[in-house]
Structure 1
Amino acid sequence: MNKWSLLNGLALAYIGDAAYELRIREYLLTTGKIKPNQLHRLATQFVSAKAQSHLIAALVAAEQLNEEEIGFFKRGRNAKSHTSAKNADIQTYRMSTGFEALMGYLYMSEQSDRLEELTHWCIQRIEEDFNVS
């Protein structure tokens, strides 16, 4: 058993938030956008609690996740947090925490290809569903 598999959902969400956001920032830079305000506004559309909650629901509905991945999502979603998002209700916040825990699990277990695959799927989904480009 790896040490990362013992991490609680909030610890996985902590690292997953960073891993996912870094990939989003890399993606945005590859699109040729370089103005900091524009980059920040666009990044928020991909990494906000609302966006992440939407994405995890879409991933589950589209049956994109295996049982183990769903388990790590649930570990994050069900974790007891003493904080909440500034601009989200508790259900949205918990779903986004679950999304981040899933990303953290993939990152910590060194499943880079799977992390990239899901990130790419999420980017396409946000661009389609929210008309972001």
Structure 2
Amino acid sequence: MIGGIDKTLRLTEDKAAQMPPLTLAYIGDSVFDLYVRTKYVLGCSKNAGALHAMSVRLVNARAQAEFAHRWMEHFTPEEADVFRRGRNAKSPSPPKNMSIADYKYATAMEAVIGYLYLTGQDERIDEILGTLAFEV
């Protein structure tokens, strides 16, 4: 669902694994958000305000942390390593209006999605994000 990116913008798994986890989370946050927005735009005919309200229920630290807890045991060893590094990364600023634990787990989940995106593993992104509980 996310594909369509120029193949020259992809990284090997080794190169992506060497990237800082917060960098992986940075791109993963965008991919996560784009996936959810695309799913809603294609799945229902609501106005932009309603689509946004639906999207923010899934794209926030608390929801992403809960989602991460459900997926942790299903990660490949490489994904588990990226997740661990993302969870343990030191954030430059403390989270506002959320628990530190939720923030760390959300960041870790975003890092995994970023890793998968940069390595061209779109089917795996679909497999993981396809299990989100979308409302319509």
Please classify the TM superposition score into its range, dividing by the shorter chain length: 0.7 to 0.9
Q: Report the number of matched residues.
A: 124
Give me the CA root mean square deviation: 1.5
Q: Secondary structure at the match of 1:34?
A: coil
Deviation of 1:117 (Å): 0.7
Match of 2:7 in 1: none
Poorly superposed stretches of 4+, deviation over 6 Å: none
Distance in 2 between residues matched to 1:39 and 1:104, nearest whole Å: 23
Q: 1:104 aligns with which of 103, 114, 118?
A: 114
1:5 and 2:34 correspond = no
- Asked if the contact 1:84/1:93 (under 8 Å) is kept, the reply is no
Deviation of 1:86 (Å): 2.9
Q: Secondary structure at the match of 1:46?
A: coil
Deviation of 1:87 (Å): 2.5
Instruction: Give 1:116's aligned amino acid.
Output: D
Q: Secondary structure at the match of 1:99?
A: helix
With normalisation by structure 2, the TM-score equals: 0.84
| Percent of pairs with identical residues | 33
Distance in 2 between residues matched to 1:21 and 1:77, nearest whole Å: 19
With normalisation by structure 1, the TM-score equals: 0.86
Structure with the bigger percentage of helix: 1
- Asked if the contact 1:49/1:85 (under 8 Å) is kept, the reply is no
Match of 1:114 in 2: 124
Q: Secondary structure at the match of 2:46?
A: coil
Q: Secondary structure at the match of 2:69?
A: helix
Match of 1:27 in 2: 39
Distance in 1 between residues matched to 2:61 and 2:94, nearest whole Å: 10
Q: Secondary structure at the match of 2:58?
A: helix
- For structure 2, list consecutive stretches of 5 or more residues without a partner in the other structure: 1-11
Match of 2:56 in 1: 44
